[in-house]
Amino acid sequence: MKVGILDYRIHFYTVKRNIIDKVPGVTYVPVKDYYSWRRKWALRINKLLDKNLVPTFDLNNQFEDFDLNKVDLLHFSNAISYGKTPWVAHFETIIPRFEHLLQRKNPETTQNKHTQALTQRGLAALADPACKRIIAWSENAAKNQRDLLSEFSSDLSEKILSKLIVLSPPQTLMVESVSTKTYSKENPIRFILVGDGFFRKGGREILNSFEKLIREEQLPLHLVLVSRLRKDYYAAHETNADIDWAKEKIASNQDWIEHFEAIPNHEVMGLLKNCDIGLLTTYADTYGLSVLEAQANGCPVISTDVRALPEINNTEIGWLINVPKTELGEACYQTPEERQILSERIQSGLEHIIRGIAQDPDVIAKKGQAALEKIKTQHDPVRYGEALRAIYEKAIG
């Protein structure tokens, strides 16, 4: 069986994690199309002019090859196809993943004839018989999809919803068990945050909390950061001044901070194996693959309770920071006031949890072992591959 993957996405981390080589015996091949050609030229124009003159977001998530790629099936991540070749798609939030639909809850968002036509075409593609399955990463994503479709005709919605399933991402176990450790100033509790969107993932709150707990309260803590400290503005609305602040804070606290900018995934796994607790105190993440990776290394995780995180993290296997959220699980961060409240809630929650861990450090191994068991039962790569094979075989008849 030949399964086509968008050529420029074949090296994307989420595609490698969820799609490529997950079904033994299936050949995954790169495919090109009209929209990837348009995207390539749009990126060149934008680079040449040094401005985002031609938007590319929606181009990323559409596919039309006029059925010229000779594959049995197409498998997308967040994209839809307008052709007749059978296709399936994984999605993290909603599908079709168009910018105006992702922002539809924002009162400032307006829809024009172009976006309305794009929406209708996208929904028609999902309802078309060529679309065989839409695979939500999480129950939260499925909830977001049902919410989107509730705004359209019941006949169209029912056709699309009949193709909706939830399939949790796979995760290989990296360790077999977790041992209880003794911690001290010489052997501190090692925490780790992995992610380039540093401020969106709660980086400011982590630095402030750890500095306070180490300098003022003398707790035996050590922080490992794997991040380019990239500014992405989304959710946390950080500025260049914020990035400079973080760099200075890290540089002046090297006695308790290790910082790695860009390292291969296998080196990240090595760091996780040598840490005790993972961190994802995020403002906005659709899922949280770094949580699975930490848990697979026996590291229980402290996270916020946004989006899919309560599905993969809980108080039996880790720690959750409750934050203000919308009915769809998104943290409230649209206004400066909301972001201030969110930041305060994350920092106070993080400090409270870490103080509790320092008082009862045996809880680390207990939750770490429970997290390993959860990975075994809910994210087994073999069962995941079998489920994906069944989807493929049914799709091509």
CA 166 to CA 17: how far, in whole Å? 16
Structure tokens at 280: 């994802």
CA 66 to CA 105: how far, in whole Å? 34
Specify the pLDDT at position 326. Answer: 96
CA dihedral of 285, 359, 192, 321, whole degrees rounded to 10: 10
DSSP code per residue over 109-177: ----HHHHHHHHHHHHHHHSTTEEEEEESSHHHHHHHHHHHTTS-HHHHHHHHTTEEE-PPP---S-S-
Specify the pLDDT at position 224. Answer: 98
**CATH class of segment(s) 189-378:** alpha beta
Specify the pLDDT at position 233. Answer: 73
Specify the pLDDT at position 262. Answer: 84
Per residue in 29-84, pLDDT (tens digit) is 999 999 999 999 999 999 998 888 899 999 999 999 999 999 999 999 999 999 99
* Tens place of pLDDT per residue across the chain (397 aa): 999 999 999 999 999 999 999 999 999 999 999 999 999 999 999 999 888 889 999 999 999 999 999 999 999 999 999 999 999 999 999 999 999 999 887 766 667 888 999 999 999 999 999 999 999 999 999 999 999 999 998 999 999 999 999 999 999 999 999 999 999 999 999 999 999 899 999 999 999 999 999 999 999 999 999 999 988 778 889 999 999 999 999 999 999 999 999 899 899 999 999 999 999 999 999 999 999 999 999 999 999 999 999 999 999 999 999 999 999 999 999 999 999 999 999 999 999 999 999 999 999 999 999 999 999 999 999 999 999 999 999 999 8
Give the contacts of 24 (CB within 8 A, at least 6 positions apart). 385
Specify the pLDDT at position 110. Answer: 64
- Classify burial at 300, counting beta carbons within 10 Å of its beta carbon; exposed 0-12, middle 13-18, buried 19 or more: buried
- Confirm if 3 and 392 have CB atoms less than 8 A apart: yes
Q: Where is 29: in which H helix or E strand? A: strand 27-31
User: Residue 9 has what DSSP assignment?
Assistant: G
CA 42 to CA 266: how far, in whole Å? 33
Query: Which residues make beta-bridge pairs with 290?
Result: none
Q: Which candidate, 71, 58, 74, places its Cα nearest to that of 6?
A: 74
Specify the pLDDT at position 108. Answer: 64
- Classify burial at 206, counting beta carbons within 10 Å of its beta carbon; exposed 0-12, middle 13-18, buried 19 or more: buried
Q: What integer best gives the mean pLDDT of the chain?
A: 95
Structure tokens at 278: 């993972």
CB atoms within 10 A of CB 172: 12
Q: Is 288 left (phi over 0), alpha (psi -120 to 50) or beta?
A: left
Reported pTM: 0.94
For the chain, give every domain's residue range: 2-170+380-396, 189-378
Specify the pLDDT at position 107. Answer: 62
DSSP code per residue over 373-394: HHHHHH--HHHHHHHHHHHHHH
DSSP SS3 for 1: coil
Looking at domain 2-170+380-396, its CATH architecture is 3-Layer(aba) Sandwich (3.40)
Do domains 2-170+380-396 and 189-378 share one topology? The answer is yes
Specify the pLDDT at position 161. Answer: 97
Specify the pLDDT at position 52. Answer: 87
- Confirm if 165 and 135 have CB atoms less than 8 A apart: yes
Q: What is the largest CA-CA distance in the chain?
A: 65
Structure tokens at 41: 């030229």
- Confirm if 122 and 149 have CB atoms less than 8 A apart: no
User: Residue 181 has what DSSP assignment?
Assistant: -
Specify the pLDDT at position 230. Answer: 85
Amino acid, res. 359: Q
